[in-house]
Chain A
Amino acid sequence: MKVRFILIMFFLSQPIMAQLERKLDNETQEVDLIFHAPRHINLLTVEPLDKKTLHFAIMHTFGPLNGGVQNLFGLDNGANIQFSFEYALGEDFSLGASRSSRDKFYNLYGRYHLLKQTQDDAMPISLSMMGGAGVNTSDYTFLQNENPSFSERTSFAAQLMLARKFSDKLSVQVSPMMAYFTDPNPIFFIEGDQNLYLAVGLSGKYKITGRSSLTFQYIPNLNNDLRNNVGVGIDVEAGGHVFQMYFVTSQALNEQYLLAAGNGRIGEEFRIGFNVNRVFATGRKRK
């Protein structure tokens, strides 16, 4: 009895096989890559840039598909091309400048990230806001006296971007948007004739392989009769670049024109679009 008791006690006093408890360093870590890039088809996303990095996007949309093979499905019609540069001054704030060839439109904008979704859902969503001001620099001197002044060429955009990564595959963003044209001159490449445009941008991403996703965009207008913008496409990550190929109903590439420029019918008036995104790190110490 006694011997058995001692044996039990001896067994109990043996330290168990030393093993450390596996625990995460930071439970409330931000989720990674809600979207592949700061741009998603034509809309901006909540995807932040790291401090002192520069995001460069070159975006194109071509003519409508219904030109058929005669116009090589719109590629012959001349593209609207936008170059955009966005630089992160901090982890939460970045400033951007873009230039679209359509109406030779320059846009300055800022993005600010208010909330970032965390992996433990302590923060279930990411919320960012964007504001921008742009100017149409097309040459209208042929209009002589009616050549619009600088202020008549300006337009403004603002939006909130609310996004959530629901799973490894699915991310969704809802963006209430507004655009304001000081003077919606019919000579501009816009269809609308009002000053203020309201819409809700919806963006979706569904991952199909490790590095590519199906993408979706729908921008219903709230205060006008213009057709709504629809886009479907695919995002592919390839060695630091994100390529985005899509079909979309509008040739517009900046926020103001997305809301005011009107849209073609879904299907035959789809246009081929193509973005290349690249992030450059600056101010990094070299060893």
Chain B
Amino acid sequence: MKNLIVFFLFLFVLTISREAFAQVYKTEGGNVEFLSKAPLNEFTGKSEKLNGLIDLEKNDLDFFIDLNTLKTGIGLRDRHMRENYLETKKYPFAEFVGKIKEKVTIKPGESKDVTAVGKFKIHGIEKEISVPGRITATSNNEIKLEASFKILLSDYKIEIPKVVFYELAEEQTVSISAILKK
């Protein structure tokens, strides 16, 4: 009997502490933007459907986006992007799973520059990347993440035909801005 009480007490404390220190923030409406800067054509693609999770206790990161939600402002260009370049029917998601290098303990109003390392996957190809970013605690249960990184399309086997070379850049700048809630 006594053992049982000890056991439940132990379990209770365990649950309490987990509740109190759980540092898991999530979003389903983060912003993603990519910038393609080619000699003859500069354009951006945007989505407001970035899904993300940050666990500040375990320093885990998990982000993904449905690439079908990216819009460049020209419908036909979107269709060609989905069908010919990203091949979204086969590979609908771009994702990043990784860890934050630094331990983040910030109070509301404070921010901290961080580096995330992990695997970025798009077009079915996974690569280890390192992304500098900034985390801001906007309130007790809300944090803001801003990050930007560059990717080379050839690294992910997204081929640009020669005739299109002047309209689509090989190097794309990806920017992320998201508010995550507890």
Contacts and interface: CB of A to CB of B under 8 A. Distances in A.
Interface of A: 2, 5-6, 9-10, 13, 15, 17-20, 22-26, 29, 32-33, 49-50, 53, 119, 168, 210-211, 237-240, 279, 281, 284
Contact of A2 (B3, B62, B76, B93): B3
21 contacts: A2-B7, A13-B11, A13-B14, A15-B18, A18-B24, A18-B53, A20-B26, A20-B62, A22-B93, A24-B68, A25-B66, A26-B68, A32-B83, A33-B80, A50-B74, A53-B76, A211-B84, A238-B163, A239-B163, A239-B164, A281-B74
A119 B90 CA distance: 12
A237 B7 contact: no
A24 B167 CA distance: 29
A24 B15 contact: no
Contacts of B161: 211, 238-239
A175 to B, nearest CB: 22
B25 to A, nearest CB: 10
A10 B12 CA distance: 11
Contacts of A18: 24, 53, 55, 58, 60, 62
Contacts of A25: 49, 66, 68-69
B73 interface: yes
A168 B89 contact: yes
A20 B64 contact: yes
Contacts of A9: 7, 11
A103 to B, nearest CB: 32
Q: Which 8 A-B pairs have the closest CB atoms?
A: A50-B75, A25-B66, A32-B79, A239-B164, A239-B163, A32-B83, A238-B163, A281-B74
Contacts of A5: 7
Contacts of A237: 80, 84
Nearest to A119: B89
Contacts, number: 83
A50 B76 contact: yes
A6 B53 contact: no
A17 B24 CA distance: 12
Contact of A6 (B10, B60, B76, B159): B10
Nearest to B4: A2
Interface in B1-30: 3, 7, 10-11, 14-15, 18, 24, 26
Contacts of A22: 64, 93, 95
B45 interface: no
B170 to A, nearest CB: 15
A119 B69 CA distance: 14
B118 to A, nearest CB: 12
Contacts of B64: 20, 22
A238 B97 CA distance: 36
Given A20-B62, A22-B95, 7 more contacts: A19-B97, A20-B51, A20-B53, A24-B66, A33-B80, A240-B76, A281-B73
Q: Which of A19, A25, A119 has the most CB of B within 10 A?
A: A25
A19 B98 CA distance: 10
B15 A13 contact: yes
A29 B92 CA distance: 12
A20 B52 contact: yes
Contacts of A240: 76-77, 167
A15 B83 CA distance: 39
A25 B79 CA distance: 17
Contacts of A284: 73-74
B24 to A, nearest CB: 6
A65 B53 CA distance: 65
Nearest to A278: B76
Contacts of B97: 19
Contacts of A26: 66, 68-69
Q: Which of B60, B76, B92, B167 has the most CB of A within 10 A?
A: B76
Nearest to A13: B14
A33 B52 CA distance: 31
Contacts of A238: 161, 163-164
A242 to B, nearest CB: 10
Contacts of B163: 238-239
A56 to B, nearest CB: 13
Contacts of B69: 25-26
Contacts of B89: 119, 168
